Structure 1
């Protein structure tokens, strides 16, 4: 199939996007039903003296993120098996949480906590795989539109589920969601012609960054995770039960839904699509400004005795939450392209920071009666300071690169880690690297695995990265690279780059 295989999938909006949007909407509803539906209130009340129940749900979320960081190879090897087991565990967790206070065979509190942990585990397991599939098959902006569809669909369907389903039907629906979401993800994979999310090679859609710039980009990843956790702490969904700041009842009429749709669409168009051609380091700064501004508005509006002001602030917070959610997953998607970190570890890093920050907010809220404007203002101020620091560091990096003043580490690594942006005629080479790898693979009769290794080598990936990405041993990677060198008649990576990035593409293709 060549170096990329089916690396980018269909470019147009299609069945995969619809399935992912509906699956993500169901996933969001699953969490919301467990946290706020009356059928789970009795189980939540038993946990409240310890901590808000969402804190224990976050522990399961955190467990997935930790497994991504610590045992990615094991997860990849057992991906097919886990695809069937984890949804069933999520369903079992929901059943355990709902039925815990209705039985005495198992200590109700222990059963409730175990159920919450399994639910949090299943939630992030599905969300991360769904977004990884989209990140490998779609652009960052396309991912943004899919997430907007998921958020709006959840916002529309959730009141219908809580208003028109009785307690038993709500529990049954919540139990079915993990299985339904997984089936939708499976259909999305089939529509792209792949068996697992790892069957799609990562596209090369963005400029490659020097090691120093990559470290700075990680700061952006951490900041986006912290901002999402902070905004969710203000939201109705950020804490579970009656202690939430805002009531759901007056919010989700059609006018509020329309306002939310317009705001999120404007965010995707203005803060993601319009900045798509900016350098990677700067393209998310407008989005961060929007999210931090929403935090400041929310802080200034709390507490509000006027019902109109209170409702307006509530809408601002819910819109800001959607923007923060979009920002977080957009940064994750671009991190998969720009960072020399295996995808599981990118997801694990973002997930750990988000879960840890959220857990901290929940823990503080369980012991501090008023988590209002002052603390939120400090959090927003911290976000501004982090953004300023990020901008300052990136400006310095760009300035150093422009003047040739590069650190010794960058000087030794930049040439290999960066993708050449333009050829002598001004044409972008990044768009043709995959095609040239396909040509080389066909011409020199590379195996499918050798083609995948060649594609990663052409991106400047290290052997360690290739080992993590393709789930191969060190010796196997060395063997594949040796075979590639032999078949292509080169002696090192520079020889490969000379073939792949040959300036005269017409001469190269005709020779092949």
Structure 2
């Protein structure tokens, strides 16, 4: 069974082949020859490409088949995917010792195999309940796969991460055309097989990171005394991911044909240009903030095109929104992995939370897109007003919400965790340390309880020790640390130690 003719993208196969060959040759001449024997690099690239391609095959090949059995199964499964990612993020943040990646990897492969068989059987039996159960199981396992692949990227330097991500997105563009031009059955098989292949490629690369996360204290506890080592769950980065994925969800469902999104050929152009620039510069020309601004322009243009009453408006809107989302998704993957590089112990929680928030944004955008498509024939003015509201809201967020936000600063703002056993200040005599702490406390007017907490921090104590020693709650310790840092005008535990060492030296 093939793609419906009216849903095929408008493209010239010869032009696509010529562009693909040009991009490939340019990338190879620029820098890829030096990585031809780097197996880990290519495994990580292939794994991320397969994760991205899974979404393409799902939206283009699998989801249209859901509509023949139970259309709401697609929305339920995406919601379960988001819930799984959020659950992983919370476990990694608050109970990281219970996160055994080996057990979860085995379970994920088994669930993907059984769930895929269940989805295929539900199509044959026309069984809604089997489709819902199987698709939800596959979506949950896919969520875990995306975390493993994202964590594997944190093993590389930031410039290398930029190269991996851009190459993976370029490969995903090619897979998108496979999904459009080949029979639906091939796309469905690829949807089943791609996440398993991605997990097999990435699990060994990510294994050391998961081991470190599991063996260390949970990020939520470490963040009490070292808040700058981890991104808060309400960080502006995650808000950005949510809003841009709203645009992505809208582009998938606005003007869809037979349950499939409108074909998009043009996103390969900005992605191809970005890939060439990134590879040619060995990843050093990846300007996250500039890319985000360019993606905002594409998204605004896409929403604006949706308000135009013309035959080409739906296709133009989908293409522009897809271009904007593709560029920002590149930024999102690079930034999430880069944060993990800066602090490995934060990588699992950061990537899982980021992808979970993105999935929630897709659900919201898809709901708006479905409503807009259904109402466009009966209430065109209402659709134009609603789309205009999206344009205004998105522009307001870009101008006001992102005014003082920088992706680069967000990455640099994450600091490495300072381990208790690496602190040299313990070598000092007790009297000298107490004198230094007392002098600093007097200078910044610390309260008696803050002085106690400050001295324990200066000795490298963690939040558990402080809670037990002072018989206070976790939130009380967190409040004291926040006040101490504010009075000292610092942001990290390392800065506190440096201040104390400097005082002792003087």
CA distance in 2, matches of 1:40, 1:356: 18
Identify the residue that residue 156 of structure 1 maps to in structure 2.
174
More deviation in 260-269 or 124-133? 260-269
CA distance in 1, matches of 2:57, 2:292: 29
CA distance in 1, matches of 2:255, 2:205: 32
Matches within 5 A, 1:65-464: 65-72=85-92, 73=95, 76-103=98-125, 108-139=127-158, 141-160=159-178, 163-164=181-182, 167=185, 169-189=186-206, 198=213, 218-236=234-252, 242-244=258-260, 246-247=262-263, 251=265, 257-258=268-269, 260-263=271-274, 273-274=284-285, 284=289, 286-302=290-306, 303=308, 305=310, 307=312, 313-336=317-340, 342-368=346-372, 369-370=374-375, 374-390=385-401, 463=463
- Stretches of structure 1 lacking an aligned partner (at least 5 in a row): 1-11, 203-208, 277-282, 399-416, 420-429, 444-456, 466-473, 475-492, 504-512
The answer (yes or no) to whether the contact 1:130–1:185 under 8 Å persists in 2 is yes
CA distance in 1, matches of 2:253, 2:42: 24
| Change over 3 Å in CA distance of 1:223–1:195 after alignment to 2 | closer
Residue 45 (structure 1) aligned to one of 68, 80, 89:
68
Shift of 1:185: 0.6
**SS of residue paired to 1:242:** coil
CA distance in 1, matches of 2:173, 2:184: 19
Aligned length: 394
CA distance in 2, matches of 1:230, 1:335: 23
| Change over 3 Å in CA distance of 1:464–1:125 after alignment to 2 | farther
**SS of residue paired to 2:262:** coil
* TM-score, normalised by the number of residues in structure 2: 0.61
| Change over 3 Å in CA distance of 1:114–1:335 after alignment to 2 | same
Note the aligned Cα RMSD (angstroms): 5.2
Matches within 5 A, 1:20-59: 20-37=44-61, 41-48=64-71, 51=72, 53-59=73-79
CA distance in 2, matches of 1:29, 1:171: 12
**SS of residue paired to 2:112:** helix
Shift of 1:297: 0.9
| Change over 3 Å in CA distance of 1:222–1:295 after alignment to 2 | same
| Change over 3 Å in CA distance of 1:343–1:214 after alignment to 2 | closer
| Change over 3 Å in CA distance of 1:120–1:293 after alignment to 2 | same
**1:181-237 deviation digits (Å, cap 9, x = unpaired):** 1111135458xx7785848999xxxxxx99699889944223322233122124348
Shift of 1:298: 0.8
**SS of residue paired to 1:137:** coil
CA distance in 2, matches of 1:71, 1:46: 35
